[in-house]
Structure 1
Amino acid sequence: MARAYALRGPCYARPPQDDEIDRVSVSDQTTTTHVLPRWAYVPGVDTQADRVTLDRVKALVPERFDGFVPASHAAVLYGLRLNDEGFFWEAHEILEAVWKVAPKGGLDRICLRACIQIANANLKLKMGKPQAVKRLIADAATELTELTVRRRSQAGDSLAAGFPAEALAKELRNWARHYWNDSANAPQLT
Structure 2
Amino acid sequence: MRYSARALPAYRFLPGRDPHPTADPRGHSVDSAPWFEIGGCAPADWADCAPYLYGVDCFNHGFWWESHEAWEPLWRGLDSESVQGHYVQGLIQAANALLKRRMGRPSAVARLRRETRRHLEWVSVARYMGLEVVAWRAGIDHCLAQPGAGFPGIYLKA
Q: TM-score scaled by structure 2?
A: 0.77
Matches within 5 A, 1:1-190: 32-49=4-21, 50-51=28-29, 55=33, 57-58=35-36, 61=37, 63-65=38-40, 68=43, 70-72=45-47, 73-148=49-124, 160-177=128-145, 179=146, 181-182=147-148, 185-190=150-155
- Stretches of structure 1 that go unaligned for 5 or more consecutive residues are 1-31, 153-158
Secondary structure in 2 aligned to 1:51?
A: coil
Q: Which has the higher contact order (CA 8 A, sep 6+)?
A: 1
- RMSD across aligned positions (CA): 2.6
Larger gyration radius, structure 1 or structure 2:
1
Q: TM-score scaled by structure 1?
A: 0.66
Would the alpha carbon gap of residues 54 and 90 (structure 1) be closer, same or farther in structure 2, given more than 3 Å must change?
farther
Q: Partners of 2:75 and 2:138 in 1: how far apart?
A: 23
* Residue 53 of structure 1, CA deviation: 8.3
- Stretches of structure 2 that go unaligned for 5 or more consecutive residues are 22-27
Show structure 1 runs of 4+ deviating over 6 A.
Answer: none
Would the alpha carbon gap of residues 144 and 101 (structure 1) be closer, same or farther in structure 2, given more than 3 Å must change?
same
Percent identity at matched positions? 26
Number of aligned pairs? 145
Which moved further from structure 2: 33-42 or 67-76? 67-76
Q: Partners of 2:42 and 2:60 in 1: how far apart?
A: 27
* Residue 135 of structure 1, CA deviation: 1.5
- CA-to-partner distance for each residue in 1:110-155, whole Å, 9 max, x for gaps? 110000001101110111111111221221122112222xx58xxx
Q: Partners of 2:12 and 2:141 in 1: how far apart?
A: 26
Q: Partners of 1:103 and 1:84 in 2: how far apart?
A: 26
Would the alpha carbon gap of residues 89 and 176 (structure 1) be closer, same or farther in structure 2, given more than 3 Å must change?
closer
